[in-house]
Amino acid sequence: MMRWAAYAILVAAFGAAAWGVYGLVQPDADDVRLTHLRGLQIPAAGAARFAFLKKEIPDIVSQVTCSCCAKKLIQCYEGACPVSCGPCNEQGKITYNMHAHGRSVADIQKYMAKNHPVHAGAGRM
């Protein structure tokens, strides 16, 4: 009787260990998303880039401030700025690349504040 109880405990322990190892090797949703993003080619500047960024990283561009108009980048991509706007296009590409390589929104915001400070209305092209 004790032998069967020991076998049952052993089987349960191995099962729990196998489940734990399986969980460790499964990528989480963020890893899957970042891998997907790194595999995509960002379009050239313009309407195609605006649409691409709105589709692929709306949650990120909705939190990053544009240097030309002081609005969130997603607002630029929804018509607040012309599709030919250089700062909107450049900041979108930088934001995409930083996010695709695992940088947090806070890191992206800090980078933009330092390297692309807000100049409302001055940077439109």
- pLDDT tens column, 64-118: 999 999 999 999 999 999 999 999 999 999 999 999 999 999 999 999 999 999 9
CB 91 within 8 A of CB 66: yes
3 has a pLDDT exceeding 90: no
> What value does the mean pLDDT take over residues 3-15?
73
Q: Which residues pair with 65 in a beta bridge?
A: 72
Tokens of 21: 């190892």
| Sequence-distant (≥ 6) Cβ neighbours of residue 46 within 8 angstroms | 83, 84, 89
- Residue 125 pLDDT class (50, 70, 90 cuts): very low
Query: What pLDDT does 87 receive?
Result: 93
